[in-house]
C-alpha cells in the first residue's frame, strides 16, 4: 500500500473556472480516508487525478514520496470502484475476480489461489461459479470490490460512492466488509461520498470538500464537535449544527440582546454554533419561541423529541425528552463549554 500526499492541486476543464483550487491532502499508509462533499464539490475529479485518468492543471501528487506527475494511470497501481458495478457478463464471479491477474500474466494456479483468498475475505465463495445476471446488486458490488483488491501490488483503492446503488439495508453490511478487508490486508482506501453517515462510520479521517476547496480534515469527532467552517457545521449532523447570529460586547456573548455567557473575544459580530443535543428547552436561558415538537425515538424508556424553535431571528433544533419540550414561549440553555464561534465563516 502507499501513503498519499497532495499539495497545491488545482484543476480546471478548458477555460472554465477551477473545479479544484489548491487542494492539500495527506493520507497515511493503510488509512481509511473519506472525501465528503455535496454535488459539484470536486470529489470525483480528485479521484480521477489520483488515479491518473486526469492530469492536474497544477500541483503535485505523490505516492510514498514518488512524484506521479508524468506517470500514466496504468503504472500507478491504483484500483477504482465506481457507483455502479461493471462486470464482464460472460465471466462468472471467479472469472471476474481473476481477470486483472490473468491480464498481467499470472499462472493459472497462482491466480486461482489469490481469487480464493479474496473470495473468502468477502464471503464470495458460494458465488464463484455464478454469472453476474444471477447476482443481486449487493453481490455485484462485492464482486467489483473483490476485483479491485485481487492484485497484491495495488498501492491505493479509490471508492467513488460505491454504496449509491446498493439497497439501504445492505449498506451497513458492505461498509463492514470494506472495513474488515482493509484491516486484514492493510489497504489504503479513499472513499468518496456525499453521504455523511457513510463517511462518519467508515473513515478514520474525513476531508470535507466544498466548491473545490478543502474546508477541514480531521477525525469524525473533529468534524462533528469542532467544525472549522460554517459549511462543515451545516453539512455534518442530522439536523446540522444550529447557527445563530450573536455579538461580543464588553466581555459578554449576546444573542438578541440577551447575555449568554462571558467571552474574552474582541468585540464584534459573530455566529454561535451548537448541536441540538448541546442545549435544553426549559425555564432558564435565552428566550425562544417553540414552533413544533416532533417525536424521534424512545431511549431508556424515555421518549425523545426534536424541538424546533426561533431565537435571535434564526431557527434552531433541540433534542430532549418529550415531556420537557415545552410549547409557545420558553427558554433555551446552551452549555457554554460546547459553543463553537465563527467569524467570516471560519471557527475562532
pLDDT at 326 over 80: no
Please choose, from the candidates 158, 218, 203, 192, the residue with its C-alpha nearest in 3D space to the C-alpha of residue 2. 158
Please say whether the beta carbons of 267 and 308 come within 8 A.
no
pLDDT category of residue 212 using cuts at 50, 70 and 90: very high
Burial class (CB in 10 A: 0-12, 13-18, 19+), 150: buried
Rounded to the nearest 5°, which phi and psi values hold at 169?
Answer: -65, -20
pLDDT category of residue 205 using cuts at 50, 70 and 90: very high
Q: For residue 272, what is the enclosing H or E element?
A: strand 268-274
Average the pLDDT over 10-21 and give the result.
89
Please choose, from the candidates 41, 48, 33, the residue with its C-alpha nearest in 3D space to the C-alpha of residue 235. 41
Question: C-alpha angle with apex 81: 120 to 64, nearest 5 degrees?
Answer: 90
Query: Which residues does residue 160 pair with via DSSP β-bridges, in sequence order?
Result: 192
Please say whether the beta carbons of 337 and 305 come within 8 A.
no
pLDDT at 206 over 90: yes
pLDDT tens per residue, range 153-175: 898 999 999 887 778 778 888 88
Average the pLDDT over 262-276 and give the result.
96
pLDDT above 70 as % of the chain: 100
CA distance 158 to 149: 11
pLDDT tens per residue, range 91-135: 999 999 999 999 999 999 999 999 999 999 899 999 999 999 999
Give the pLDDT score at 175: 86
Average the pLDDT over 296-307 and give the result.
90
CA distance 314 to 126: 56
Query: What domains can be seen in the chain, in order of their start residue?
Result: 4-228 (3.40.50.300), 242-347 (no CATH)
CA distance 16 to 162: 29
Average the pLDDT over 284-292 and give the result.
93
Average the pLDDT over 192-202 and give the result.
93
Amino acid at each position: 500500500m502507499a501513503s498519499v500526499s497532495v499539495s497545491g492541486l488545482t484543476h480546471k476543464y478548458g477555460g472554465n473556472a477551477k473545479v479544484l483550487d489548491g487542494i492539500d491532502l495527506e493520507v497515511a499508509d493503510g488509512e481509511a480516508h473519506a472525501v465528503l462533499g455535496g454535488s459539484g464539490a470536486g470529489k470525483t475529479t480528485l479521484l480521477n487525478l489520483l488515479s491518473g485518468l486526469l492530469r492536474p492543471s497544477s500541483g503535485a501528487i505523490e505516492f510514498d514520496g514518488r512524484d506521479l506527475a508524468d506517470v500514466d494511470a496504468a503504472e500507478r497501481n491504483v484500483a477504482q470502484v465506481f457507483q455502479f458495478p461493471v462486470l464482464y457478463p460472460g465471466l462468472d464471479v471467479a472469472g471476474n475476480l481473476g481477470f486483472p491477474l490473468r491480464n498481467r500474466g499470472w499462472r493459472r494456479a497462482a491466480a486461482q489461489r489469490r481469487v480464493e483468498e479474496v473470495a473468502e475475505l468477502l464471503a464470495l465463495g458460494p458465488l464463484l461459479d455464478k454469472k453476474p445476471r444471477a447476482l443481486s446488486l449487493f453481490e455485484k458490488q462485492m464482486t467489483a470490490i473483490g476485483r479491485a483488491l485481487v492484485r497484491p501490488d495495488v498501492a491505493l483503492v479509490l471508492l467513488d460512492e460505491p454504496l449509491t446503488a446498493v439497497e439501504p439495508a445492505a449498506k451497513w453490511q458492505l461498509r463492514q466488509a470494506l472495513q474488515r478487508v482493509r484491516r486484514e490486508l492493510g489497504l489504503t482506501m479513499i472513499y468518496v461520498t456525499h453521504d455523511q453517515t457513510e463517511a462518519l462510520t467508515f473513515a478514520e479521517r474525513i476531508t470535507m470538500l466544498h466548491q473545490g476547496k478543502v474546508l477541514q480534515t480531521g477525525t469524525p469527532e473533529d468534524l462533528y464537535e469542532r467544525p472549522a467552517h460554517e459549511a462543515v457545521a451545516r453539512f455534518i449532523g442530522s439536523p446540522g449544527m444550529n447557527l445563530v447570529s450573536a455579538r461580543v460586547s464588553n466581555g459578554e456573548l449576546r444573542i438578541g440582546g440577551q447575555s449568554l455567557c462571558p467571552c474574552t473575544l474582541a468585540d464584534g459580530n459573530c455566529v454561535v454554533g451548537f448541536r441540538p443535543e448541546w442545549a435544553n428547552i426549559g425555564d432558564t436561558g435565552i428566550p425562544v419561541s417553540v414552533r413544533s415538537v416532533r417525536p424521534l425515538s424512545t431511549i431508556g424508556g424515555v421518549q425523545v423529541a426534536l424541538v424546533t424553535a426561533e431565537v435571535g431571528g434564526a431557527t434552531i433544533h433541540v433534542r430532549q425528552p418529550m415531556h420537557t419540550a415545552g410549547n409557545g414561549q420558553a427558554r433555551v440553555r446552551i452549555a457554554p463549554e460546547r459553543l463553537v464561534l465563527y467569524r467570516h465563516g471560519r471557527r475562532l
